Amino acid sequence: MNGDNLPPLREVIASHGLAAKKSLGQNFLLDLNLTRKIARAAEISGRTVYEVGPGPGGLTRALLLEGAARVIAVERDARCLPALVDIAAAWPGKLEVIAADALELDESQILPPGTAIAANLPYNVGTALLIKWLSSESWPPRWSSLTLMFQREVAERIIAKPGGEHYGRLSVLAGWRTRAKILFDVNRNAFVPPPSVTSSIVRLTPLAAPLAPAALKDLESVTAAAFGQRRKMLRQSLKKLGGEALLEKAGIDPTARAEELTIVQFAALARALSA
Ligand code: SAM
């Protein structure tokens, strides 16, 4: 038995009364061709997959159809649970559903090492989880890849390189520990209801070791200060952290601005801060 016999998602939504709730950022994907494309992009065949926010289960079904060994799905909207129970019944032993807020879950208790993470999440939750996943104490992390849906503009911030308007704290954190790539865009009309902007699928794979040595908390301190006043020269924006002396210790031009620094230079600043 496999999930091919499940009813179309439109029927699932109607029969379980899953009208999308704005407060939970619900924009559902109903086209199984699209969710299967996302599942293939996540390269999950034979792996355990952690899916956050399965909703009525469009991506969940695609992950199972594309060969996930097992899916662990976390959903905070209890209305969606019966629809997910139907999927679990169609795929015996392969889907485990956890009713919880993913932001509060201690994943180290749930995820076996090597788990692939895949999600179509509301933008604010997605960014908060991305930061949580990138801020793992130890590196490489437990997860083998992240395949996530974001608003196009957020996706551009994640992959941005120095010199552009999108380059910021998220780009430094993501680029320091992962290789991040936009795989493809998803038109707003693919969602029910459609969000206001285009979305993109981003895939992040962890580097074996961060791009340059630094303590995460010091890297966060320097990027927060530098990008908090991104139009100012670093000697001004980093004043509270040591200003010119700190920049000199790191070998960085004090008249440079945040968006001109490479990730390796931010790591040098973080090391200078902890020295
Ligand atoms: N994955 C489904 C799809 O692609 O059609 C649903 C996507 S919808 C954009 C986001 C889903 O995440 C909703 O089902 C919502 O209830 C759930 N969600 C929102 N915040 C969450 C959180 N903090 N923890 C777990 N699930 C959450």
The whole-angstrom separation of Cα 39 and Cα 58 is 10
pLDDT of residue 124: 86
Sign of CA dihedral 241, 244, 249, 255: positive
Instruction: Spell out the domain ranges in the chain.
Output: 9-206, 216-274
The whole-angstrom separation of Cα 24 and Cα 41 is 25
Homologous superfamily of 216-274 in CATH?
rRNA adenine dimethylase, C-terminal domain (1.10.8.100)
pLDDT of residue 204: 98
Query: Which residue out of 12, 24, 81 has the highest number of ligand 1 atoms within 8 Å of its CB and is therefore the one to mutate?
Result: 24
pTM of the model: 0.96
- Specify whether the CB–CB gap between 74 and 102 falls below 8 A: yes
User: Quick one: which atom of ligand 1 is closest to the CA of 74?
Assistant: 25
Around Cβ 160, how many Cβ atoms within 10 Å?
A: 20
User: Quick one: which atom of ligand 1 is closest to the CA of 21?
Assistant: 16
Mean local confidence (pLDDT), 221-248:
97
Homologous superfamily of 9-206 in CATH?
Vaccinia Virus protein VP39 (3.40.50.150)
* Atom 19, ligand 1: residue with shortest CA distance: 24
Mean local confidence (pLDDT), 199-207:
98
- The answer to whether residue 139 scores a pLDDT higher than 80 is yes
Q: How far is the CA of 121 from the centre of ligand 1 (A)?
A: 5
- How does strand 191-192 pair with strand 28-29? antiparallel
Closest among 139, 152, 146, 131 to 204, alpha carbons compared: 146
Local confidence band at 2 (pLDDT 50, 70, 90 cut-offs) = low
> Measuring from each residue's beta carbon to the nearest atom of ligand 1, which residues come in under 6 Å?
24-29, 52-55, 58-59, 74-77, 80, 101-103, 120-122, 125
The whole-angstrom separation of Cα 221 and Cα 223 is 6
* pLDDT 10s digits, 10-68: 999 999 999 999 999 999 999 999 999 999 999 999 999 999 999 999 999 999 999 99
* Atom 5, ligand 1: residue with shortest CA distance: 28
- Specify whether the CB–CB gap between 199 and 27 falls below 8 A: no
Query: Which residue out of 16, 22, 26 has the highest number of ligand 1 atoms within 8 Å of its CB and is therefore the one to mutate?
Result: 26
Mean local confidence (pLDDT), 76-96:
97
